[in-house]
Amino acid sequence: MSKILTVSPSPHISSDLSVPKLMYGVVLSLIPAFIVTVYMFGLGALVITAVSVVSCVLAEMIIQRYIMDAPVRIRDGSAIVTGILLAFNLPSNLPWWMVVIGAVFAIGVGKMTYGGLGNNPFNPALVGRVFLLISFPVQMTSWPLPGASRFHYLDATTGATPLGFLKEALRNGQTVPEVMNQIPDHMQLFLGQMGGSMGEISALALILGFAWMLYKKIITWHIPVIMVGTIFAFTGILYLIDPTRNASPLFHILTGGVMLGAIYMATDLVTSPMTKKGMILYAAGIGVITVVIRKFGAYPEGVSFAILIMNAFVPLINKYIKPKRFGEEVKNG
Amino acid sequence: MFKTFHKGGVHPPENKLSAGRPVEPFPVPATVAILLSQHMGAPAKAIVEKGAAVKTGQLIAKGEGFLSGNIHSSVTGKVSRIEAVTDASGYKRQAVFIEAVADEWFDDINTDTLLDKEIKLNAAEIINKINESGIVGLGGATFPSHVKLSVPRGKKADFLIVNGVECEPYLTADHALMLEKPGEIMVGIEILKKALGVTQAHIGIEANKPDAIALMQKFASEYTGVKVHPLKVKYPQGGEKQLIKAITGREVPSGGLPVDVGVVAFNVGTVFAVYEAVQKNKPLIERVVTVTGKNIKNPANFRVRLGTPVAGLIEAAGGLSENTGKIIMGGPMMGKALAIADIPVVKGTSGILLLQDDEASRNKPQPCVRCGKCVAVCPMGLEPYLLMPLSQKNEFDRLESEHIMDCMECGSCSYICPSARPLLDFVRSGKNNVGKIIRSRKKQ
Ligand code: SF4
Ligand code: SF4
């Protein structure tokens, strides 16, 4: 036989899973949320998303080629995902050059200083968002009202998010039941008729994306379900203790980016734990920290900070929370 | 819901191209090369010399080590030479070459195909017969069967488990055997039950073989204490520990043996070999081999004499096509890639699989994206993403404390990794090194 046969160790077949496939799967799952945000925020949503994605991809390419002198891997799709998620965490009337700064910071500092995809401890999109929040607090907390100014970008009509409104009102001595009459009801919140970051407004659209990602086995249910469940339980206890000072648990999980954070930010493959047990601990931690920030902190929301804080614990979680070994704990009967 | 094991596992495309093909007797080849090492443990010692005349089924080498087994001639003819031949691992190993002239069976071997249900031997005699007949696990691990049957003092077997799972994609040898020899397999089960002194036997079959499940169920209903379990189609459902977990819920402890949880497991092919040895006096000289692949014209299940060259099997199934990239002995998940096709069939050869060039090539490894999928699929609960760099850095203590020795080399981690990282390659080398350290520690 003249032909040289390949001799390599088993396994001899591999699944068709690949990093681009995972990343583009995430991109596809974001379509419903994107449609809702464009419907609600119009032009601004389109501009911000485009600027963010293009800046992230270009930043990654330039850094890989000219600074790290490494192979350019923009085709893996991870920069696109970061770009969309960063955009989804911003108000739709943010000046475009701030978006560029956020994107460059997200990719440059959040991802590349650690060595690129797979090595970054913090979710790059959240690193970018928090950097913008600290640098431009005013612009980052002025929220266009949904549906009010679809054809305006920078001069959109703005208002408070439900959570921000609540926090402010409570500070001014109002009670929760009084405030609830002045903001959208739960159904409107669920569908996305509220002010907020571009991608966080519609729980429905995000849950559709979640279902798709579960179906495609891109992520598992653990992190989103446990994180939302923890927030629900914790705010539920507070609500039972004093419903005049604490909003209902349903209100909490439908506002302030809980769904976006749980489904897309906390589940980031690179920065979340490896094992199911670790994921549960991590997600519960995010839930608890989110509620603590909302209740006692200066910011009305808290999801972004909670995720970044728990990101920092992931190496520790991976070190100490091991999968259940087969045959380790023997229960034979 | 079908029963299954609970931790990890993958579901590769099944590609059972040869399913439904009956077992065809493969012609006795002109020359066989019978390897002296077809089992775990030390090679058997040849008891024939060059020039000797041997008959089909005659003992030609004695298994002398603890985990070794006897070897018999698979043809009638003359020993032409005893010399090294390349085996599936690529190493040269001693083999007895026999030029076949006729097919005359040795001694009182019964070659008729009548079903013989009456078990005359007692437990000790059965075990002895199995030992003499050179029966080893035909599922691929080639663990000598008589050793499994000799339950160590202080331990007790509660069940016999029969492995008809055949979870490797492409392979159908066990499936074909169950369809063809259900009655014989049942008698084999009774024999093994008697040898072990147990009353219960459980047969596990993956749910993708409904015909085999139905047939085995029908035959099992004639016996007491024999139950067929349809199992979920999930790789590696046929791993011994996974199978035991699925059927009994018992978990073989890390580093332990099935008998530690009261179970002894045999592959259906082995059970059939036991039937033939005990009831027909026939040593293990042939087995069913699947020859398959997307480019194979006539995927087939052949009954093949041991020592038959793989090249001959491929020829008979339609020949090697231009774009064959890889020849694998075994299945695509755990089989060995062959460098040449002139390799003899051995007791552990369950299949010959030809992969095309594009199927055979591996993707270029990319950095780990920490997706955790390798952890999620590992049926042993290991963390391949971690074991790989530890192995690269020779951190043997860490590897050992991370249970690297539990790895069953199922390949699920490498299979699933979206970054195409060769996880098992490194886990395997780490295992080798840690294994050496553990053995040298025991010796001291
Ligand atoms: S580490 Fe070993 S047992 Fe675990 S999936 Fe990989 S090959 Fe299988
Ligand atoms: S499957 Fe591959 S990419 Fe994912 S964690 Fe394991 S080694 Fe890393």
Distant-in-sequence, close-in-space partners of B163: CB < 8 Å, separation ≥ 6: B139, B174, B204, B238, B240, B243, B265, B266, B267, B268
CB B314 within 8 A of CB B353: no
Q: Would you give the end-to-end CA distance of chain B in angstroms?
A: 50
Distance from CA of B8 to the nearest CA of A (A): 10
| Token representation of residue B270 | 């082995």
Q: Which of A9, A322, A326 sits opposite B428 (nearest CB)?
A: A9
DSSP letter, residue A279? H
Cβ separation B424–A9 shorter than 8 A? yes
What string of pLDDT tens digits covers the 333 residues of chain A? Answer: 456 778 888 899 999 899 999 999 999 999 999 999 999 898 889 999 999 999 999 999 999 998 888 888 888 999 999 999 999 999 998 999 999 999 999 999 999 988 888 899 999 999 999 999 999 998 888 888 887 777 777 777 777 788 888 888 888 888 888 888 888 888 888 888 888 888 888 999 999 999 999 999 999 999 999 999 999 999 999 999 998 888 899 999 998 899 999 999 999 999 999 999 999 999 999 999 999 999 888 777 889 999 999 999 999 999 999 998 898 765 444
Residue of B nearest to A115 (CA): B367
Distance from CA of A24 to the nearest CA of B (A): 13
pLDDT tens-digit readout, B135-173? 999 987 889 999 999 888 888 899 999 999 999 999 999
Distance from CA of A213 to the nearest CA of B (A): 14
Q: Report the C-alpha gap between B300 and A135 in whole angstroms.
A: 70
CA A128 to each of CA A47, A93, A108, A111: distance values in angstroms, whole numbers, following the listed order: 17, 17, 9, 10
Q: Is the pLDDT of residue B28 over 80?
A: yes
| Token representation of residue A92 | 């739709």
Q: Report the C-alpha gap between B288 and B174 in whole angstroms.
A: 8
Residue A3's pLDDT is 62
Nearest atom in ligand 1 to the alpha carbon of residue B374 is: 5
Residue B357's pLDDT is 83
Q: Which of A11, A116, A330 sits opposite B414 (nearest CB)?
A: A11
Which residue has a Cα nearest atom 2 of ligand 1? B407
Interface test with B, best of A4, A81, A326, A329 (most B CBs within 10 A): A326
Cβ separation A5–B382 shorter than 8 A? no
Residue A330's pLDDT is 52
Q: What 3-state class would DSSP assign to B227?
A: strand
Q: Report the C-alpha gap between A213 and A231 in whole angstroms.
A: 22
Bridge-partner residues for B54, per DSSP? B77
Question: How many other β-carbons are positioned within 10 Å of the β-carbon of residue A241?
Answer: 9
Burial, B393: exposed, middle or buried (Cβ in 10 Å; 0-12, 13-18, 19+)?
exposed
CB B149 within 8 A of CB B185: no
The beta-strand segments (E) located in chain A are 143-144, 158-159
Which residue has a Cα nearest atom 3 of ligand 2? B368
Report how far Cα A9 is from the mean position of its chain's Cα atoms: 40
Q: Which ligand is nearest to the CA of B8?
A: 1
Tell me whether strands B226-231 and B200-206 are parallel, antiparallel or unpaired: parallel
Q: What 3-state class would DSSP assign to B59?
A: strand
Residue A29 Cα to ligand 2 middle (Å): 22
Residue A257 Cα to ligand 2 middle (Å): 29
Bridge-partner residues for B46, per DSSP? B61
- Give yes or no for residue B372 CB within 6 A of ligand 2: yes
Q: Which of A272, A274, A325 sits opposite B381 (nearest CB)?
A: A325
Distant-in-sequence, close-in-space partners of B29: CB < 8 Å, separation ≥ 6: B75, B100, B305, B307, B308, B309, B312
Amino acid letter, residue B65: G
- Give yes or no for residue B363 CB within 6 A of ligand 2: no
Cβ separation A274–B375 shorter than 8 A? yes
Q: CA quadruple B65, B69, B70, B71: dihedral positive or negative? A: negative
Distant-in-sequence, close-in-space partners of B157: CB < 8 Å, separation ≥ 6: B151, B196, B197, B198, B259, B262, B263, B264
Taking residues B100-124, report their average pLDDT. 88
Q: Which of B262, B328, B373 sits opposite A12 (nearest CB)?
A: B328
Count of A-B CB contacts under 8 Å: 174
Question: How many other β-carbons are positioned within 10 Å of the β-carbon of residue B109?
Answer: 18
Of B390, B322, B406, B381, the residue nearest B356 (C-alpha): B322
Q: Is the pLDDT of residue B1 over 90?
A: no
Residue of A nearest to B368 (CA): A118
Bridge-partner residues for B161, per DSSP? B202, B265
Contacts with B328 from chain A: Cβ below 8 Å:
12
| Token representation of residue B173 | 């040898």
Which residue has a Cα nearest atom 3 of ligand 1? B407
Q: Is the pLDDT of residue B360 over 80?
A: no
Q: Report the C-alpha gap between A173 and A193 in whole angstroms.
A: 26
Cβ separation B362–A8 shorter than 8 A? yes
CB A199 within 8 A of CB A304: no
Cβ separation A17–B416 shorter than 8 A? yes
Cβ separation A22–B249 shorter than 8 A? no
Residue B427 Cα to ligand 2 middle (Å): 13
Residue B206 Cα to ligand 1 middle (Å): 21
CA A29 to each of CA A124, A214, A259, B294: distance values in angstroms, whole numbers, following the listed order: 19, 10, 14, 35
pLDDT tens-digit readout, B271-324? 999 999 999 999 999 999 999 999 888 999 999 999 999 999 999 998 888 888
- Give yes or no for residue B373 CB within 6 A of ligand 2: yes
CB A192 within 8 A of CB A201: yes
Tell me whether strands B71-72 and B59-62 are parallel, antiparallel or unpaired: antiparallel
Q: Which of B385, B391, B409 to mutate to test the pocket of ligand 1 (most atoms within 8 A of CB)?
A: B409
Q: Which ligand is nearest to the CA of B382?
A: 1
Q: Measured at the alpha carbon of residue A270, what is the angle toward residues A213 and A253, in degrees to the nearest 5? A: 55
For A163, phi then psi, to 5°, come to -65, -40
Residue A333's pLDDT is 42
Residue A105 Cα to ligand 2 middle (Å): 26
Q: Which of A6, A76, A326 sits opposite B241 (nearest CB)?
A: A326
Q: Report the C-alpha gap between A148 and A162 in whole angstroms.
A: 16
pLDDT tens-digit readout, B394-423? 999 999 999 999 999 999 999 999 999 999
- Give yes or no for residue B124 CB within 6 A of ligand 2: no
Distance from CA of B154 to the nearest CA of A (A): 17
- Give yes or no for residue B420 CB within 6 A of ligand 2: no
Of chain B, the percentage scoring pLDDT greater than 70 comes to: 100
CA A158 to each of CA A4, A93, A195, A196, A255: distance values in angstroms, whole numbers, following the listed order: 69, 9, 8, 10, 17
Q: Report the C-alpha gap between B196 and B158 in whole angstroms.
A: 9
Residue with tokens 């002995």: B329
Residues with beta carbon inside 6 Å of ligand 1?
B 377-380, 382, 384, 407-413, 423-424, 427
Q: Report the C-alpha gap between A196 and B184 in whole angstroms.
A: 72
Q: Which of B324, B375, B381 sits opposite A326 (nearest CB)?
A: B381
| Token representation of residue A135 | 């640098």
Cβ separation B261–A330 shorter than 8 A? yes
CA B103 to each of CA B26, B54, B80, B304, B311: distance values in angstroms, whole numbers, following the listed order: 13, 10, 17, 14, 22
Distance from CA of B228 to the nearest CA of A (A): 21
| Token representation of residue A290 | 């989110």
Interface test with A, best of B14, B370, B421 (most A CBs within 10 A): B370
Cis amide linkage into residue B236, ω under 30° from 0:
yes
DSSP B317-386: TT---TTEEEEEES-TTT-EEES-S--B--TT--EEEEEEHHHHPPPPP-------HHHHH-TT---HHH
